[in-house]
Structure 1
Amino acid sequence: MGIEREIKLALPADQLDAASHWFVTRTGSAGQPVALTNIYFDTPALTLARSKSALRLRHTPDGWLQTFKTAGNAASGMHSRHEWEMPVAGEKLEIDTLLKACDEPTVAAALRGAAPDLIELFRTNFTRTLWQLDSHGSSIEAAIDQGDVIAEVNGETRRAPILEVELELKSGDEAALHAVASELCANVPGLAPDDISKAQRGYRLREK
């Protein structure tokens, strides 16, 4: 199990170029774009949502990953949560493998109970442009995500846009993460802390 620590910032569309330019200038790199397809699962009764967890399959250029996360804590754009992630053979969940890895009894029990009734609820399809930053000896992965949340509800296709910056601490001091976020916000007007995860957006889209 790992603890994911990241700062999420909503990015105004008219500041996309400014944010990209800041990362290019800061790192000396044009950034690495990666297309990501993400499928989120739950039961019709939303068992996982009620247990404050989320389950997804992600297709990357290197293959498929399955990820199980807790909602954790989110305040002022700072997200801290448990995360279990591992490769899988294809577009299919491997629940037994996740259960072996999950060391949080409450959410593990929810996943075990939900497993027979899991269905696809929604997708998030987006392009993630990545930069690697060093700050005071800490390593931070910076990303700009652009795309959509997509849900099929009663024959209707619903969409909501994704446009955000994520700063994830890969190693080092959390203070460095906040320092980079402050520096970015000082140079890119309109950035705002975002406490809502992509999974939460998907659930909300289905409820409309």
Structure 2
Amino acid sequence: MGIEREIKLALPSSLHDAVATLINRQTGTEGRKINLTNVYFDTPAHTLAKAKNALRLRGMPDHWLQTYKTAGESQDGMHSRHEWEMPVAGEALEIDALLELCDDEQARDALRDAAPDLAALFRTDFSRVIWDIEHEGAMIEVALDLGEIVTNIDGEHRTAPISELELELKSGGEQALDDLAALMRGAFTDLQPENLSKARRGYDLCASKAGEGGEV
């Protein structure tokens, strides 16, 4: 089990080029761009969301990953949560292997209970530009995301935009993460803390009213 610590900052899509240019200049390297597809799974009754967990299948350029997360905590854009992630052979979940990996009893039981009725609920399609930055002795992955959340509810096509800057701590102290986020917000005042995960926003898009279905 790992604990994911990251800061999410929402930004207008019009700022993406300026943010990328600044990071390129400060790091001396061009960010690497990839296209990501994430499919989120749950039961029709949103069993996992009600247990404050999220399950996704991520399509990378050359492989697939399955990830299971707990809601954890989020404040001022800082997200801390438990996460289990592993590669899979293709575009399909491998629940038995994920159950073996998950070492939290409550999270494992929730996944086991949901497994027979799991189905694709919504997806996130976005481009991501990634930089690996060393800051104050810490290694931080900076990702600039632009795309959309997509679902079909009873034949109704719904979308919501994705426009975020994510700073994820890979090693080192959390203070470095806070300080880098403060520097970015100082350079771009339109950057604002985003306390809702992409999964949470996806569930809200599916729900008949905002906030239905638990916290993820």
TM-score of Structure 1 vs Structure 2, range by shorter chain: over 0.9
Amino acid at match of 2:41: F
CA deviation map 1:88-117 (0-9, x unaligned): 001110001111111111111000000000
| Residue of structure 1 in register with 2:51 after alignment | 51
Distance 2:13 2:146 in 1: 10
Give 1:166's aligned residue.
Answer: 166
Over the aligned positions, Cα root-mean-square deviation in angstroms equals: 0.8
CA distance in 1, matches of 2:7, 2:71: 14
Instruction: Show CA shifts across 1:16-58 (max 9, x none).
Output: 2221122111211121011001000000010000000000000
Using the alignment, how far apart are the partners of 1:26 and 1:111 within structure 2?
A: 43
Give the percent of matched residue pairs that are identical in Structure 1 and Structure 2. 56
Shift of 1:14: 2.7
What amino acid maps onto 1:37 in structure 2?
A: T
Residue 92 (structure 1) aligned with residue 82 (structure 2):
no
Counterpart in the other structure of 1:125: 125
Partner of 1:19: 19
Distance 1:150 1:176 in 2: 34
| Matching residue of 2:109 | 109
Query: 1:178 corresponds to which residue?
Result: 178
Residue 212 of structure 2: aligned partner: none
Answer with 144-153 or 8-17: which moved more: 8-17
Q: Which runs of 5+ in 1 are unaligned?
A: none
Gaps of 5+ in 2: 209-216
Contact 1:18 1:188 in 2 (8 A): no
Q: Does 1:5 align with 2:5?
A: yes
Tell me the SS of whatever aligns to 2:23. helix
1:143 counterpart letter in structure 2: A
Q: Please report the TM-score for the alignment, with normalisation by the length of structure 2.
A: 0.95
Q: Which consecutive aligned stretches of 4+ in structure 1 deviate over 4 angstroms post-superposition?
A: none
**For the Cα contact (< 8 Å) 2:13–2:146, is it kept in 1?**
no
Q: 2:27 and 2:132 mapped to 1: Cα distance?
A: 7
Say which SS state the counterpart of residue 41 (structure 2) adopts. strand
- The TM-score normalised by the length of structure 1 is 0.98
Amino acid at match of 1:111: L
May I ask how many residue pairs the two structures share in their alignment?
Answer: 208
TM-superposed CA distance for 1:136, in Å, is: 1.5
Match of 1:82 in 2: 82
Alignment partners' CA distance in 1, 2:131 and 2:9:
16
Superposition deviation, residue 188 in structure 1 = 1.1
Q: Which residue pairs with 1:194 in the alignment?
A: 194
Question: Are residues 1:31 and 2:53 paired?
Answer: no
Q: What does residue 41 of structure 1 align with?
A: 41
SS at match of 1:184: helix
CA distance in 2, matches of 1:206, 1:52: 16
